[in-house]
Chain A
Amino acid sequence: MQELRELAAQLLRDGAVDVVVGWEDSPRGARPIFAVTPEDAGKLIFDTRCLHDLATYLNPRRKQVVDLGKLALVIKGCDAKAVAGLLREAQLTRDRVVLIGVRCGGVCEDSMAPAPVELTPETVAPRCHGCDNREPRLVDHLVGEPRPEPPAPLLSLDERVAALDGLTPEQRWEYWTAQFDKCVRCYACRQICPLCVCERCVADKSRPQWIETASHPRGNFSWNVTRALHLAGRCVGCGECERFCPAGIPLAVINRKLQQVVDERYDYRVADDPEVTTPIGDYRLDDQQEFIK
């Protein structure tokens, strides 16, 4: 932690960056901080409560962050994948940001806990299970001690997907329409997503209106399917959409399913390498087409 604070203070003191974005401790647990002075940098922390995907601040839709000047961003492995996604899709230039990677041993699901949470199968975030990027590579600085692998959660995302896969289509339809019926169309899932980068979302377009805006099962289905599809092969699985969903829709399960699909079909796993192209938008002449007559 000291290493992180000193590095951040140094970057600010040298004028290498205008602001360091990381996490701080607060009366309401860990939360993002925009440190602009070396003193602020002393507040930086990294522990198991730092589950926020700060890469979302690099999303070009957040013009107010762009206006802050040059950023240093503290990132975990999953956040690094999101940064790579933005670079890959030309939504960010590498010289706009200094990346401070932290070695991560998994995070919990409760950012508001008063103290760092010990990771157990009950507390660990399911998305941390099987993480392949606990030491981010897309970084300018890497800090922290190597941490042990997080414990397996009670129920992994893969197990949740498998449980749904095991149902009949009619049951799945009932499950998902009931879930989507809860949707209030606040678009929190979209707003928090580091990779929902469209300046004008198809859900906001009215001529023609492809997705009905009312919080009604028909438009809700259309919206949730579209959101998932637009992230297929891009979603880094940071789980922020599900965490922010006020209705508790299990969005991470859908995202995980699509991760499995692109893995099985195109041998593609999202990595923090901006040079690798995404599977959608790319193709191979011999792609599977067993579903096409």
Chain B
Amino acid sequence: MNDAHEPRITAFVCNWCTYTGADLAGTSRLHMASNVRIIRLPCTGRIDPLFVIKAFERGADGVIVSGCHPADCHYTAGNYHARRRFAVFHDLMDFMGVDQRRITFSWVSASEGAKWRDVVNEAVSKAREIGPFTAYRALNDHNVSADHFDWVDELAAAGGGTGCLGEDAAAKAAARPARTAAAAAEGGDA
């Protein structure tokens, strides 16, 4: 199944620039990957990071968020607000361990049909490169289980010294006897 995998990409785009740019790409008959499903919104400022999470929940392998270039926002400042919000979201997703190649942010204006084609093609080729987002789908199957805890325990055990998670776990365990018992039980189950 994997060798026939076609990535599914969800694109959240703003009505005024990127959607029109994508439209231009279509009317210009530009060839591009057909894996992208576009969701049109009034403005990048309307795109909640939860939309991206929801797309992944529903099986997207990649997400594109795109809107007007800075200074071009139809509502003056929506894209500036979105830029800050998505900068933080970008860094948080990285911290959570989501491969950065799965989320593409871009500015595509109404006249940039060719740029939209490139953004789409690149997002699709990156999604092909990293394969289906099975890690997120494992969440759907409640497949985050015992062996994952083993791994965390190993990290704790291997830690030692400074800058590890182990000491912290040990310190917490010492501070909270009740919770230690719970943690031990968890470890035992695993």
Contact = CB atoms under 8 A, between A and B. Distances in A.
A binds B: yes
B53 A222 contact: yes
Given A155-B168, A172-B96, A257-B95, A229 B83 contact: no
A176 B92 contact: no
A248 B183 contact: yes
Nearest to A283: B80
Given A174-B151, A177-B148, A248-B179, A159 B142 contact: no
B88 A163 contact: no
Contacts of A163: 163-165
A293 B106 contact: yes
A266 interface: yes
| Overall SS of chain B's interface | helix
B84 A287 contact: yes
Contact of B88 (A210, A262, A283, A293): A262
A211 B50 contact: yes
B41 interface: no
Report the contact-size class of chain A (Cβ under 8 Å from the partner).
Answer: 35 or more
B88 A229 contact: yes
Given A175-B155, A178-B152, A287 B87 contact: yes
Interface in B137-170: 138-140, 142-145, 148-149, 151-152, 155, 162-165, 167-168
B76 to A, nearest CB: 11
| Overall SS of chain A's interface | helix
Nearest to A182: B186
Given A163-B164, A283-B83, A258 B135 contact: no
A161 B80 CA distance: 28
A155 B53 CA distance: 32
B135 to A, nearest CB: 6
A291 B87 contact: yes
Given A155-B162, A210-B54, A292-B107, A181 B148 contact: yes
Nearest to B122: A293
B50 A226 contact: yes
B156 to A, nearest CB: 11
Contacts of A162: 163
Interface stretch (A2-10, A58-66, A71-79, A213-221): A213-221
Interface in A227-275: 228-229, 232-233, 248, 250, 254, 257-258, 261-262, 265-266
Nearest to B81: A283
A155 B167 CA distance: 7
Interface in B93-124: 93-100, 104-107, 119, 122
Contacts of B164: 155, 163
Contacts of A40: none
Given A171-B97, A181-B144, A291 B90 contact: yes
A289 B183 CA distance: 42
Contact of B107 (A109, A110, A248, A293): A293
A229 B104 contact: no
A280 B88 contact: yes
A125 to B, nearest CB: 10
A289 B87 contact: yes
A276 interface: no
B175 interface: yes
A179 B164 CA distance: 16
Nearest to B176: A248
Contact of B81 (A172, A248, A281): A281
Contact of A258 (B92, B168, B179): B92
Contacts of B77: 283
Contacts of A166: 163
A173 B165 contact: no
A258 B54 contact: no
A218 B96 contact: no
Contact of B50 (A176, A202, A280, A284): A202
Contacts of B50: 202, 210-211, 222, 226
Given A229-B89, A261-B88, 14 more contacts: A159-B162, A161-B95, A172-B96, A175-B165, A177-B135, A181-B145, A216-B142, A254-B95, A266-B84, A281-B81, A285-B80, A291-B86, A291-B105, A293-B119
6 closest cross-chain pairs (CB), A and B: A173-B97, A172-B97, A283-B80, A178-B148, A293-B106, A217-B139
Interface of A: 109-110, 122, 154-155, 159-167, 169-181, 202, 210-211, 216-218, 221-222, 225-226, 228-229, 232-233, 248, 250, 254, 257-258, 261-262, 265-266, 279-285, 287-289, 291-293
